């Protein structure tokens, strides 16, 4: 069998860590119990496993208690539960929600739905690095504002938002703060207490856990956050997310968090060195290269560059047997639409179509990095020659 290409699209998804798979396996077979049926040992051992996982998830974001965490099917569902839940629950207080232009579609389209049902939605622009203007944010708050939803780290350009400042602004005005932290938790330190986060979305498969599992942190004190449920049924997860718990997935998510907590500091140093080296090599070979995103306030394992004059689809196609990279987020790669994130930071449509995203991850070794850099540079020059 031919060697598989090097995978460098870790923002789209990550492989499940073998240690996570191992922890999950017994919960498909001998420990298959329903965590809600605790009258017997089968249910009780499933409930115990969920309890451990809830603690592991709470710990990595410094949530005061495991009960602050509910399990969902992923960050998409967590974002929906948070945004729709606040909008309905606090409708008596106000009807205004604030977000920003570079959010994931799971936030933007949920807010679009709110707007279609008569709510007032402000979508703030971002600067050339993908950061919202804090003064514009503060002045967009009215006495009808109930929620600010701004992501912690961007899935395309890796920009990290000034979340502590945003949390402070929100709380100074008595507004709740939700953050989509699917790309942040397990990659950078997160602390819901220090940052002042009221609601936080997590995805399993962005951090070496399985797909189809996620979590939502819901603050229970200072202030106590209440949500109107969007899913009804058996009342699991404090009534916020009915449905039989995905015990193997939950065990996987918890294990993934425990591993990430131990390993993320070391990984960050390694990834930062590689992305820095890669950008320098590209600059040397192709001086007109532009970095998409913030030069320093960025995820260490992200590099998103614009190569003016090089069509990203052509480059990705030429590289396909050696390297799996993407031109943007998974949701936009099947369409010809340019990335809304790249347009928001001021890239032209042409520049957006000349951008590629590298997402590094746990399984990459130095030799693969070197071969990736060489292949990209070689294929850029191929493209230039045939033009």
Ligand X SMILES: *Cc1c(COP(=O)(O)O)cnc(C)c1O
Closest approach of ligand X to the CB of residue 282, in Å: 24
Instruction: Check residue 225 for interaction with ligand X (CB under 6 A).
Output: no
Residues 91-110 that bind ligand X (CB under 6 A): 104, 106
Closest approach of ligand X to the CB of residue 384, in Å: 32
- Residues 6 or more apart from 16 whose CB is under 8 A from it? 205, 208, 209, 210, 252, 256
306 annotated active-site: no
Count of chain residues binding ligand X (CB under 6 A):
13
Instruction: Check residue 206 for interaction with ligand X (CB under 6 A).
Output: yes
**Considering only 74-82, 83-91, 310-318, 376-384, which stretch makes contact with ligand X by CB under 6 A?**
74-82
Pick the closer one to ligand X by CB: 33 or 158: 158
> Rounded distance, CA 387 to CA 381, Å?
10
Catalytic residue among 100, 111, 306, 331: 331
CA distances from 211 to 56, 76, 252, 368 (A): 18, 12, 10, 26
Out of 131, 176, 182, 192, name the contact with ligand X by CB under 6 A. Answer: 182
- What SS3 class is residue 195? helix
Pick the closer one to ligand X by CB: 176 or 181: 181
Closest approach of ligand X to the CB of residue 41, in Å: 32
Residues 308, 351 contacting (CB under 8 angstroms): yes
Out of 9, 17, 68, 180, name the contact with ligand X by CB under 6 A. Answer: 180
CA distances from 183 to 4, 104, 165, 167, 358 (A): 25, 11, 19, 18, 14
Hunting for tokens 């229970």 — which residue is that?
Answer: 220
Pick the closer one to ligand X by CB: 332 or 379: 332
Which is it for the CA torsion 338, 341, 343, 348, positive or negative? negative
**Strand pairing of 355-359 and 302-306?**
antiparallel
Residues 132-171 that bind ligand X (CB under 6 A): 151, 155
Out of 203, 275, 344, 379, name the contact with ligand X by CB under 6 A. Answer: 203
Furthest-apart CA atoms within the chain: distance in Å: 71
DSSP state of 2: P
Give 320: exposed, middle or buried? Use CB within 10 Å, 0-12, 13-18, 19+: exposed
- What SS3 class is residue 89? helix
Closest approach of ligand X to the CB of residue 138, in Å: 24
Residues 130, 293 contacting (CB under 8 angstroms): yes
Instruction: Check residue 333 for interaction with ligand X (CB under 6 A).
Output: no
Residues 122, 138 contacting (CB under 8 angstroms): no
Closest approach of ligand X to the CB of residue 249, in Å: 11
Out of 14, 80, 99, 183, name the contact with ligand X by CB under 6 A. Answer: 183
**Considering only 56-64, 73-81, 250-258, 280-288, which stretch makes contact with ligand X by CB under 6 A?**
73-81
Residues that bind ligand X (CB under 6 A): 74-76, 104, 106, 151, 155, 180, 182-183, 203, 206, 214
Q: Which sequence positions are flagged as catalytic? A: 331
């Amino acid at each position: 069998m031919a060697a598989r290409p090097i995978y460098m699209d870790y923002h789209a998804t990550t492989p499940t860590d073998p240690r996570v798979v191992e922890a999950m396996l017994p919960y498909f077979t001998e420990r298959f119990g329903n965590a809600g049926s605790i009258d017997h040992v089968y249910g009780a051992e499933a409930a115990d496993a969920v309890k451990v996982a809830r603690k592991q998830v709470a710990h990595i974001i410094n949530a005061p208690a495991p009960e602050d965490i509910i399990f969902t099917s992923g960050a998409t569902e967590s974002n929906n539960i948070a945004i729709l839940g606040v909008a309905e629950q606090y409708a008596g207080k106000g009807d205004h929600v604030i977000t920003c232009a570079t959010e994931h579609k799971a936030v933007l389209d949920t807010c679009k739905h709110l707007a279609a049902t008569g709510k007032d939605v402000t979508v703030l622009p971002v600067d050339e690095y993908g950061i919202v203007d804090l003064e514009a944010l503060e002045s967009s708050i009215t006495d009808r504002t109930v929620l600010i939803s701004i992501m912690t780290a961007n899935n395309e350009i890796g920009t990290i938002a000034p979340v502590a400042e945003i949390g402070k602004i929100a709380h100074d005005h008595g507004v709740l703060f939700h953050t989509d932290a699917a790309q942040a938790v397990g990659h950078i330190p997160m602390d819901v207490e220090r940052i002042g986060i009221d609601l936080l979305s997590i995805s399993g498969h962005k951090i070496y856990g399985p797909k189809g599992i996620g979590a939502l942190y819901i603050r229970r004190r200072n202030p106590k956050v209440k949500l109107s449920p969007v899913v009804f049924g058996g009342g699991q997860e404090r009534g916020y997310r009915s449905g039989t718990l995905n015990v193997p997935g939950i065990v996987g998510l918890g294990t993934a968090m425990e591993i990430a907590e131990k390993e993320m500091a070391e990984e960050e140093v390694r990834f930062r060195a590689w992305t820095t080296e890669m950008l320098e090599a590209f600059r040397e070979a192709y001086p007109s290269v532009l970095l998409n995103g913030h030069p320093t306030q960025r995820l260490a394992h992200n590099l998103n560059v614009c190569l003016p004059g090089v069509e990203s689809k052509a480059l990705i196609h030429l590289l396909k047997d050696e390297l799996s990279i993407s031109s943007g987020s998974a949701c936009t790669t099947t369409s010809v639409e340019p990335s809304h994130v790249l347009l928001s930071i001021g890239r032209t449509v042409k520049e957006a179509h000349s951008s590629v995203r590298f997402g590094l991850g746990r399984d990459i070794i130095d030799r693969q990095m070197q071969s990736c850099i060489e292949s990209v540079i070689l294929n850029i020059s191929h493209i230039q020659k045939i033009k």
